[in-house]
Amino acid sequence: MVILGIETTCDETAAALVERTEDGHGRILSNIVLSQVAEHAEFGGVVPEIAARAHVEALDHVIAKAMAEAKLSFDALDGVAAAAGPGLIGGVIVGLTTAKAIALTHDKPLIAVNHLEAHALTARLTDATPFPYCLFLASGGHTQILAVRGVGDYLRFGGTVDDAIGEAFDKTAKLLGLGYPGGPQVEKEAVRGDAKRFALPRPMAGRHNADFSLSGLKTALRLEAEKIAPLSDQDVADLCASFQQAVVDVVMDRLRAGLRMFRERLGTPKALVCAGGVAANQAIRKVLHRVAFEVGADLVAPPPALCTDNGAMIAWAGAERLALGLTDPLDVAPRARWPLSEVAKAARS
């Protein structure tokens, strides 16, 4: 089957066509992503109204480019998938409404995809990873450790009680005047910094559960910066290095807890999968390799372009759901909040 996927939950306007074979393997036919970084840079973060307006202006062109690159017409589609949440509601409405129009006009099934499920299933597109596997999902808005037992079947072991990892990186960059997007800037500065200069906390370390908390770390960083202000270039590099090392240590500790919980419930996972933009951070990637090796699991890390928001992951999740006969009515509602637990209920009902 061939599925068109549309992604507009944040600040990427994206569309892609993906093919799923009968034996469950996937192939990307086209994958177009238009970033809005320039539009939001001066504000130091994503402005929802600007993002929604940019999606309206760009989405038709992005879809047309994806269709042209795949050399397919709408009649060749087996379904139309769109991210229906969670995300910035204005952008979600743009993408889902467009998908509904295409599905209605061309009499195709509509699949309303949960953005988090799309991240969770990407490893099956890129590596044909079999169920069940352990997922570390880390992005600007989400940080979770999950068991992925099947399409629509997720067991959560831990999540953030406040800031997501990506959000903490972005806020750190803003505090230190590094610009937007913040995560890559902090990682770049950390390379030339001294990670031992500032004694920052490792929140939740040693806890039996696999939850995260980043707000205390962010506050501790701010206090250290205020003590030595005005900051030199080396001060900024050292703060970034100390912050990143603290996050790396927290990720290692929390992942070990999550994998222990996985083993207790489901046995040793064959794969540890990472997804979300934070997975592109090389220091965090090294920790993922280490923790996977400790438990005897393979580390599955999709290419960076498929870790950040994109239409291919939406199309693939749509294909996985359509293969199980899971479709949605044209009056399906966009959702700013949509926990994976509710996706599971819908899939099993």
Percent of the chain scored above 70 by pLDDT?
Answer: 98
pLDDT, residue 349, reads 39
Lowest mean pLDDT among 197-201, 232-236, 315-319, 339-343: 339-343
* pTM over cut 0.95: no
Average pLDDT over residues 113-129: 96
155 and 218 share one domain? yes
pLDDT above 90 for 346: no
pLDDT, residue 141, reads 82
Closest to 4 (Cα-Cα) out of 88, 90, 105: 105
Average pLDDT over residues 193-202: 97
181 and 274 share one domain? yes
180 and 227 share one domain? yes
Lowest mean pLDDT among 39-48, 122-131, 324-333: 39-48
Lowest mean pLDDT among 9-23, 71-85, 276-290: 276-290
- Cα 213-51-44 angle, rounded to 5 deg: 55
Task: Confirm if 152 and 162 have CB atoms less than 8 A apart.
Answer: no
Q: Residue 241: count other Cβ atoms within 10 Å of its Cβ.
A: 23
User: What is the CATH classification number for the domain harbouring 87?
Assistant: 3.30.420.40
Give the count of domains, the chain: 2
108 and 250 share one domain? no
pLDDT above 70 for 169: yes
- What does the mean pLDDT of the chain come to? 93
Q: Choose between 38 and 7: higher pLDDT.
A: 7
pLDDT, residue 139, reads 81
pLDDT above 70 for 227: yes
pLDDT, residue 46, reads 81
Phi, psi of 275 (to 5 degrees): -145, 160
pLDDT above 90 for 185: yes
pLDDT, residue 115, reads 95
229 and 160 share one domain? yes
pLDDT above 50 for 82: yes
Lowest mean pLDDT among 39-48, 50-59, 71-80, 275-284: 39-48
142 and 247 share one domain? yes
pLDDT above 90 for 317: yes
pLDDT above 60 for 144: yes
247 and 177 share one domain? yes
Q: Residue 68: count other Cβ atoms within 10 Å of its Cβ.
A: 11
144 and 281 share one domain? yes
Average pLDDT over residues 63-82: 98
- Cα 322-326-331 angle, rounded to 5 deg: 110
DSSP code string of 64-119 = HHHHHHHT--GGG-SEEEEEEESS-HHHHHHHHHHHHHHHHHHT--EEEEEHHHHH
Q: Domain residues for 88?
A: 2-123+305-348
At 344, the pLDDT band (50, 70, 90 cuts) reads low
39 and 92 share one domain? yes
pLDDT above 90 for 158: yes
222 and 325 share one domain? no
Lowest mean pLDDT among 40-54, 141-155, 210-224, 291-305: 40-54
Calpha distance 38→43 (Å, rounded) = 10
Map tokens 């599955």 to a residue.
300
pLDDT above 60 for 348: no
Average pLDDT over residues 309-321: 97
165 and 71 share one domain? no
Average pLDDT over residues 35-62: 85
155 and 274 share one domain? yes
Average pLDDT over residues 167-180: 91
Q: For helices 282-295 and 182-190, what crossing angle results, to 10°?
A: 80
pLDDT above 80 for 201: yes
